[in-house]
Amino acid sequence: EERKEILALRSQLILVLGELFATNGISDEEEDTPIPRKLHGESTPKQGADKEVKEITQVNQLNVSKWGIKFNGDQSGSINSFLEKVEEMREARSVTKDRLYRAAVELFEDKALIWFRANRERIGSWDRLVQELKLEFRPADYDDRLWEEIRKRTQGPDETIGIYVAVMEAMFNRLSEGVGEAERLKILRRNIAPFYQMQLGLTKVTTIQELIQLGRSLEATRSAVEAYVPPTRRNKKSLEPDLAYAGTGEINEEMPILAEIQCWNCGKTGHMTRNCDKILKCFGCGKAGVMKAQCPNCRNWRRGNRESNRESNWRRDGDRNRETRTDRNNANVEQVEESGNGVNAPQRAG
């Protein structure tokens, strides 16, 4: 009997608290957490009742300022980004739209707060407030300009395929009208980095999720390629030296550098003439003990050739000069003969 009376008193207390919150602007619809009928682990009925009252009080308290979200109405801030953050917090805290609208004054400051105070009574609900905020703080040609940004938004060099697609999907969601997946996929394939476009050029991709999966596979392959290092050279300390990598560089490593050099003195390869062990000889006339540059026979022969050539040149020049003088004499004789035949010869001045 005593326990029944306690339970009845607790139920009456809950009803009184509900009416008290209702008079302060809290309706039954705004209670987000259901009132438990039975609390497990309570030691006494009084402790259970106190806990229930505490839970009801916590549910109906809402301090939006602790969310750290503010909108001031400046063009530097995006109204869509603001509304998305508020919606995420509302869902995370299980807050109804009616309660959020009553506490919305804490979400605004500066010009946005002035505008909200002037239109709060006219708007009356959170959904209507969202519509009015978009009309007031978004440009008139917002959709056209956003479409232009979407078409120009290409993938950055440090963006993964997953991050880039997420950014693009957020931009699509901010349009006033939804965009089909086929159109979104077309824009994504055109704007992804050239690395993905070249690899997926001949691959049929039908969904955005499939594009993400293929892009991630390509990223994994690229990371493996960039991390590749050539095998280490053969090491005598290897556990299995016969299975170690032996490159062509190791085979040719001990080949002499002068393998293609041929000695003019002995005709063999591998050394130069000045380093030859055999007796030197002139490769011009065969004189032993000297090279051609120091050979007296070849030097005299070269000197004789130069003198012979010089004498030939002198003779040739002398003949040419004599021919020139002969031609001049003949011309003078002919001129005298013509003068004797009555032809007027040119007279000298003076």
Residue 43 contacts by C-beta under 8 Å, 6 or more apart in sequence? none
Break the chain into its structural domains and give their ranges.
2-60, 64-138, 143-223
Name the DSSP class of 295.
-
Considering only 26-30, 111-115, 214-218, 283-287, which range has the smallest mean pLDDT?
A: 26-30
Q: What is the pLDDT of residue 77?
A: 81
Considering only 44-53, 85-94, 101-110, which range has the smallest mean pLDDT?
A: 44-53
Residue with tokens 């594009």: 211
Round the average pLDDT of the chain to a whole number and report it. 77
Phi, psi at 262, each rounded to 5°: -115, 135
Separation between Cα atoms, residue 22 and residue 28, nearest integer Å? 7
pLDDT tens track for 323-350: 565 556 555 555 555 555 554 545 544 4
138: left (phi over 0), alpha (psi -120 to 50) or beta: beta
Q: Where are the alpha helices (DSSP H) in the chain?
A: 2-23, 45-60, 79-92, 97-102, 110-123, 126-137, 142-152, 161-173, 181-191, 194-199, 208-226, 248-251, 296-340
Separation between Cα atoms, residue 231 and residue 83, nearest integer Å? 56
HEC string of 123-181 equals: HCCHHHHHHHHHHHHCCCCHHHHHHHHHHHCCCCCCCCHHHHHHHHHHHHHCCCCCCCH
DSSP three-state, residue 205: coil
**What is the arithmetic mean of pLDDT over 111-118?**
94
pLDDT tens track for 261-272: 777 677 777 777
| CA 349 vs CA 307, 342, 346: distances in Å | 48, 20, 9
Residue 155 has pLDDT above 50, yes or no: yes
| Confidence band, pLDDT 50/70/90 cuts, at residue 258 | very low
For residue 231, the tally of other CB atoms under 10 A from its CB is 9
Separation between Cα atoms, residue 143 and residue 151, nearest integer Å? 12
Separation between Cα atoms, residue 295 and residue 303, nearest integer Å? 12
**What is the arithmetic mean of pLDDT over 285-291?**
73
| Confidence band, pLDDT 50/70/90 cuts, at residue 243 | confident
Residue with tokens 């120091």: 294
Q: What is the pLDDT of residue 25?
A: 47
16: left (phi over 0), alpha (psi -120 to 50) or beta: alpha
Task: Report the percent of the chain where pLDDT is more than 90.
Answer: 40
pLDDT tens track for 180-209: 999 999 999 999 999 999 999 889 999 999
User: Is the whole-model pTM more than 0.75?
Assistant: no
One-letter identity of residue 330? N
